[in-house]
Structure 1
Amino acid sequence: MTKPPRLSHRRPFLWALVLGVLVCALPQTATASAADDLSKQVVVGVAGLRWSDVQASPELTALVSEADVASISVKSSTQQTCPLDGWLTISSGTRAWGTIAGESCPELPTPVDGKIPGWQQYVDTQITHSSSAQLGKLGTYGSPCGFGPGAALAVADSLGQVENWKPTFVPADLANCQTAIIDAGIMPLREGRDEARAKLAVLVGQLKAAGARVLLIGVAEEQSGAHRETQVAMRIPAGGEPRWLTSGSTRRPGLIQLADVTATLLSTVSLKDPQDGGVLEVTGDRHTDAAAVIEDRLDTNQRFAQPRKILGLVGISLVLLQLAAIAWHRLRPSRRSRPVLVGALLAQCGFFSAVFLATLTNWWRFPEAGLALYVAVIGISIGLAALSYAALRRNLALGLAIAAYVTLVIDGLLGTPMQVGSMFADGPVIGGRYYGFGNSTFAAFAVATLVLAYAAARRLLAKSRAQAAAAVLAIGGLAIIVEGVPAWGADFGGVIALTPAVLLLSWITWRGSISFRALIGLGLTGFVAVAAFALADYARPAAERSHFGSFVARLLDGDTGDVFARKIRMALGPLHTVGGWIMLLAVVLALVACLAPQKVPSATFRAYVANDPLARPTLLALAVCGFVGMVLNDAGVTVPAIMIGFALPLAVAHLVANGNEIVKDTAP
């Protein structure tokens, strides 16, 4: 059975930067195209079509053996994807706003006198929400035939006019259509689902008999508030041997998104938004066992759905462990309570590696996937803490920074396979990025990079300031390259935030202080570095660009207003909740501690900063990185909050473990 695919000086830094730019500019190896070689192509959309439906239907299961398959993310711009949202997304080729979160799914409109009722309201909704969705793009540039109410939305032009549309489909209607969109309805929640599956299998059989290449997809949820999971995507028959569908927008074998359908039908039309789809391709090994494919797709849904559910439980467990250790140490301080407290703090630091390393256990294949994920993350967190404590002792906190840095560098170089299904990667169900480093990953990587750079520089400082500064540039430069290269981290905002922090720490390490003139120079250097990444990515073909190149294209077209407005709205989102304001308060207090450490009510902390010449520069670098990350990333205050969650226990663990020596070193 074939298994499915699984899912110095300035000069060294400049050389590293040049290397990164060259890597960006290298042509990417393309997978085989899934272009249609039959006379007709037909998209059949069904709201709520899940892999469990394929498993329950012998007729649909039989189709798997002759189809290129994938799971499809139906996430639209709203928090739910009703049929209206899904069909508008296909219309525009970008996630579109259709319904209001929390409200029931509306009925799909039926064309009246050749026009969609309320079309202008849908267009205005995109503007209100700063969405870049251009409704009617498929109908304007593709001119497909449409059948059924959902298909009317998909094939309408930019003015809502509908041509070549009929309310129902019969096989004879396909004679005059080169490309067709068929709304095959909504899967019933309970009664009638078996009949709906059988009817769908008959429809696909009729289309195959008519000489059509059929793309069968789940297009939306059955109802508002339904459990969100990736749905079915099958291209029947396969272009050759049945393999796995993918696209340039996901870069993951066996995973596509709804907007990819539009990009495939409009393969000659430029789509510029990072949330736009990519042309469907096939990749990976030939699959030979339909049952194994279906089981793999069901397991994949667990991989995408469980991390967010378990994240809170893991967080609460680690916090309770720390509170219990703090209470014991405060009430009964002893030689036994101190290592327990240090170990609890280090376990939280280990979490920032464990969220990624847990994917190596294939936890989603266990019968109780959620429990397996919980055990894996907690176990790895504690294991890393114990290993660092046993191996490093006096520098025990450093081990967790090394673990996170090495883990994420390796993951980045491999194309971020450990991000998929991790707690720090908003998967296709949530609608986050499908490849590269997200905001949470960047926050953990930034702390690990700056702490490791500090430790290396501190070790070399007595020997040579230049060597210490070069060490910062080497460690930070590698992180920036991994973070920014489109084939690796592909994180535009992360590069912007991390670059000035690394340059600042390196300069102060080298010179001992920084002037306003030097600060301006570092800012310009950082700008040049970021621009180099962006321009190199922009030089690639449009279909291969990441967020870097897409932003440059928009900037040159004068089309960035919606992007900025949408980013600002998302960044301010956390401040609509009490939790967001608590995070903001924590961030403000942390910035004060970094900028004015003498104000911190801890004699040990103040003594440590006063006695270590690189402690304060490192705090400044962390503050700069966190602040820039908060301002420029759409996650807003969440970015520095996650950085605090990693950096604070690292610092406290070090101070608790070495408090006596720190105070002794500063005693007169």
Structure 2
Amino acid sequence: MKALFAIARDRRVWVPYLLIVLTVAASLAGLTLRPATGVSGKTADYVIVAGAAGLRWDDLDPQRTPTLWHEATAGAVGWLSVRSAHATTCPDDGWLTLGAGNFSVWSTRNVAGQCTAMAPTVEQPDKIGANLPQLPGVVRTNDTQPYGAVPGALAESQRCTYAVGTGAAVAAARPYGRVDRYSPTLPDDLAGVFDLCQLNIVDLGTVTGSGAARQAQVAQADALLARVLAARPRNSLMVIAGVSDTDTTARLHVAIAEGPGWQGGWLTSAGTGRDGYVQLVDLAPTILTALGRAGPDGLFGGRTASVVDGRAASPAASMLGSHDANQRAVAQSGVTGRFYLGLAALQVALFILVVPLMMRARRHAGPTGPASPSRLLVRITEVLLIASGLTIPAALLADAVPWWRSGHPTLVFAALTFAFVAAGTAAIRFSPRYGRTLWPLGTVAAVAVVVVGVDLMTGAQLQLNGVAGYSAIEGSRYAGLGSVGLGVFVAGALVVAGCVAQLVRRPWRPVVVVLAGGFAVIMVGSPYLGADPVGAVAVTGGVCVAAAISTGGWLTFPRFAWATVAGLAVTIGFAALDLQRAVPERGSLGKFLGELLDGTAGPAMERAAASSGHALDSALTILALAGAMMLAFSQFSAWGGLNRVFGLHPALRAALGGTTVAVLGAGVLQGAGFAVAGAAAAVAVPLLVLTTLRVLEHAADRTRPEGETDGPGGPGLIRRVPDKTDVSAT
């Protein structure tokens, strides 16, 4: 019988470790599953690219632009992000990026207001081709950029390229400036013109301004396109693109592909991972794939586009009106900065208000101790802290309502966010369990996880072009989990894990943390959900640290070693499987490791460093630094109570440590600076401060002996009960 009890006891000891191993295995499997790309092979004998700088979907009209409208109806369509290596993609940058297949810049000049007119020098010494003498210098300029772009890489992949117009010449020129065949304008006789080269690029002009002048420019481009279509060869692919912006206001532009295998549907690519969205850098690999040619190794920054079903046949029902993604993206870019700056100001003001409350929250014995703060003031502060922590999840929910269509989008967005914050705060405040110490913290964290998690499971529609998400105009992400969502989700998941772990016995706390962490890793890293394998690696490290110290105590060397081994096991396993795929099919982690192994990872590391530098001037950095300072005060000051919170709730300390590792690691690996940490701090720190206030209020609590009272001498003064036989008492 004793032997049976011993076996059962041994099994109970090993069950937590078995569950941890199974969770790690499930996380690894969830990260390695990938959807099919749907990229096809050769589909055309000729490709004609017709580009118009500044062309947007709201320029199209069935009466004014019948040719463009017909092509949009017959072909596959999408929103084109024209990101380049320049802060503002002017026409020369856009055409150059098209020809390089990578983020390029014509010159490093600053742009203020309108882009200057294109004026490249085009020489025609032989009346057949042309020469751009400036291009070698442009190539050297791009050598200093962190993208590894080589202008002319597309033309170098072809035996012959024909260009019409100056913009097309920039795209069709080889790195040393030679254009194989060139016409400054579209010839009068187009018979057989597009049969001479497999790749033809036509500049339809620049569309800029507004009103009647803009409509006239679009009509002229439509007329030129009609002539091109009339002369296109058989079995040809027609690509129509708004290749750039024309001023400092960035927008989404037209992308149409029409030809064999490109009828109807949405354009997409592995680079965007979102149906209906492609990048300007995706066009070059798409052209070569359609022609059945291999692209240059390591030079293209985009992925081959493909077609997926699911769009309405009419452009009006898929790209205009309530479906105008450009309108939402432009409105989002105008609101986002003010939203985060306002949130940072609110939280800094709250932290300044809370400091004196924390200093007076602990009750003191004796007549000289400071008076306790007003209960009403404390309760109001708690409500404000809860509201502050709910603000980013509420902003994400606000994007479910089309506020960007209103005449005053900023005011409508603010009203919606305030309404969601008020509703969430009221629900938490009037909950029957509100008086429990960890209830506000755990509930807000759970709300954050649910809001972001449901959004991921439904295609991340709220984050796309959302204030609490990412912008397709910026071109850094188009699908899955953004930096803000990552910070909110990871902080919420680990804090919930810490709160739940406090309810179980110590041996089972690592299991709770690993189960919640494994769920977070899958949600973040799965290509079907968060599509952020680099973020998943950072989250894995945070989960391992949290699990190691969830039972209490310090992060000793053995614990650190086991956490490191577990984190490396998941990371190396995923990376090894990702490296087995073909280069075009690899995720961002596999692609980076492949470049690291062959010695070409320098540009990627330089891009990450540059991106981190640009992210430091964000209001999210203020949120991160303010949150860190507030936590430092709460933990290390004489009046802070965070150490007491951690002593009473060691799993919560583990959650905070794991969150810190995860968000800082994600910021470094993704080149996001403190954006991830700022989002996490905006959700978690106000509620940690609230929890600290509550613990300080009860720091002097103890079991009172009979006769003890809170008299005028202060708490803990024992009232002396007179004895009838005591003469001195009378």
TM-score, normalised on structure 2?
Answer: 0.81
| 1:544 paired to 2:585 | yes
Distance 2:205 2:341 in 1: 42
Instruction: Report the CA distance shift for 1:11/1:305 in structure 2 as closer, same or farther (over 3 A).
Output: farther
- Residue 697 (structure 2) aligns with: 660
Of 219, 237, 242, which aligns to 2:243? 219
Q: 1:616 aligns with which of 653, 658, 672?
A: 653
User: Over residues 475-502 of structure 1, what are the superposed CA-to-partner deviations in whole Å (9 max), with x where a residue is unaligned?
Assistant: 0111112212233223244223322221
TM-superposed deviation, 1:207: 2.5
1:199 aligns with 2:220: yes
Checking the alignment, whether the CA contact within 8 Å between 1:486 and 1:537 is kept in structure 2 is no
Structure-2 residue corresponding to 1:15 = 22
> Quick check: which one's helix share is greater?
1
Q: Is the 8 A contact 2:100 2:300 kept in 1?
A: no
Partner of residue 400, structure 2: 360
1:534 is aligned, of 571, 575, 578, to 575
Deviation at 1:283, TM superposition (A): 1.8
- Aligned equivalents of 1:29, 1:496: Cα separation in 2: 23
Match 1:93 to one of 93, 98, 101: 101
- In structure 2, do the counterparts of structure 1 residues 359 and 454 end up closer, same or farther at CA, with 3 Å as the change threshold? same
Question: For the Cα contact (< 8 Å) 1:272–1:550, is it kept in 2?
Answer: no
Q: Does 1:343 align with 2:383?
A: yes
Taking a change above 3 Å as real, the CA distance of residues 522 and 275 of structure 1, as seen in their structure-2 partners, is: farther
Deviation at residue 58 of structure 1 after TM alignment: 4.3
Query: Pick from 497, 509, 518: which aligns with 2:550?
Result: 509
Q: Deviations over 1:177-235 (max 9, x none)?
A: 33211112211425643332222222222222224432111001124x2x211011223
**Whole-angstrom CA distance in 2 between matches of 1:343 and 1:478:** 30
C-alpha change, 1:10 and 1:76, in structure 2 (3 Å) is farther
Alignment-derived partner of residue 52 in structure 1: 58
How far residue 319 of structure 1 moved from its aligned partner, in angstroms, is: 6.0
CA distance, structure 2, for counterparts of residue 380 and residue 652 of structure 1: 22
1:126 to 123, 136, 142: 142
Whole-angstrom distance in 2 between the partners of 1:508 and 1:586: 26
Deviation at 1:648, TM superposition (A): 1.4
Alignment-mate amino acid for residue 571 of structure 1 = S
Distance 1:665 1:611, change over 3 A: farther
Structure 2 letter corresponding to 1:257: Q
Q: Distance in 2 between matches of 1:58 and 1:45?
A: 15
The alpha-carbon distance between structure 1 residues 23 and 620, as it changes in their structure 2 partners (threshold 3 A), is closer
Could you tell me how far apart the structure 2 residues matched to 1:297 and 1:250 are?
22
Paired with 2:41 and 2:250, the residues of 1 have a C-alpha distance of: 27
- Counterpart contact for 1:80–1:101, Cα < 8 Å: no
Counterpart-to-counterpart distance in 2, 1:590 and 1:86: 45
Paired residue for 1:3? Answer: none
| Residue segments in structure 1 that go unaligned for 5+ positions in a row | 1-7
Q: CA deviation at 1:442?
A: 1.7
Match of 1:141 in 2: 157
Q: Tell me the distance in 2 between the aligned counterparts of 1:308 and 1:578.
A: 13
Q: Distance in 1 between matches of 2:74 and 2:500?
A: 56
For structure 2, the residue ranges without an aligned partner over 5 or more in a row are 1-14, 358-371, 705-715, 717-730
Larger Rg: 2
Matches within 5 A, 1:556-571: 556-571=597-612
Q: CA deviation at 1:455?
A: 0.5
Cα distance in 2 between the residues matched to 1:493 and 1:136: 31
Does structure 1 retain, via aligned residues, the 8 Å contact 2:396–2:469? no
Q: Residue 448 of structure 1: which of 483, 492, 498 is its match?
A: 492
Distance 1:480 1:578 in 2: 26
Contact 1:302 1:369 in 2 (8 A): no
2:341, 2:619 within 8 Å by CA — same for their partners in 1? Answer: no
Match of 1:4 in 2: none
Give, in angstroms, the shift of residue 127 of structure 1: 2.5
Q: Distance in 2 between matches of 1:219 and 1:54?
A: 16
Query: Which of 266-275 and 82-91 deviates more?
Result: 266-275
The separation in 1 between residues aligned to 2:133 and 2:624, in whole angstroms, is 44
- What letter is aligned with 1:168? T
Structure 1 residue 68 corresponds to structure 2 residue 76? yes
What secondary structure, in the 3-state scheme, does the structure 2 residue paired with 1:43 have?
strand
- 1:97-176 to 2 correspondence within 5 Å? 97-100=105-108, 102-103=110-111, 104-105=115-116, 107-112=118-123, 114-142=130-158, 143-170=160-187, 171-172=190-191, 173-176=193-196
Aligned mates of 1:88, 1:53 — CA distance in 2? 24
The structural deviation recorded for 1:265 is 0.8
Tell me the amino acid that sits aligned with residue 335 of structure 2: I
Q: Kindly state the Cα deviation for residue 617 of structure 1 after the two structures are TM-superposed.
A: 3.2
* 1:507 shift after superposition: 1.5
Q: Name the aligned partner's letter for residue 500 of structure 1.
A: G
CA-CA distance at 1:295 after TM superposition: 1.9
**Matched-pair contact (CA < 8 Å) for 1:270–1:542:** no
The one-letter code of the counterpart of 1:186 is: T
**Considering only aligned residues, what root-mean-square deviation do their CA atoms show, in Å?**
3.3
Q: Is the 8 A contact 2:550 2:651 kept in 1?
A: yes
- 1:614-666 CA deviation, whole Å, 9 max, x = no partner? 34333433333344344433122333233322221111233345642355379
1:384 aligned counterpart, secondary structure: helix
SS in 2 for 1:259: helix
Change (3 A) 1:565 1:502: same
Q: Is the 8 A contact 1:348 1:646 kept in 2?
A: yes
Q: How far apart, CA to CA, are the structure 2 residues paired with 1:622 and 1:272?
A: 38
TM superposition score normalised by structure 1: 0.88
Describe the SS at the equivalent of 2:146. Answer: coil
Corresponding residue of 2:199:
179
Q: 1:82 aligns with which of 90, 93, 103?
A: 90
**Equivalent residue letter for 1:260:** D
2: CA distance, partners of 1:129 / 1:540:
28
Q: 1: CA distance between counterparts of 2:662 and 2:466?
A: 24
| 1:535–1:552 Cα contact (<8 Å) kept | no
Query: Does 1:265 pair with 2:271?
Result: no
CA contact (8 A) 2:155 2:174 kept: yes
Identity of aligned residues (%): 26
CA drift of 1:317 comes to 5.3
Q: Does 1:208 align with 2:229?
A: yes
Give the letter aligned to residue 144 of structure 1: T
Q: Show the counterpart of 1:287.
A: 312
- Seen in structure 2, the aligned counterparts of structure 1 residues 561 and 194 have a Cα distance that, compared at 3 Å, is same
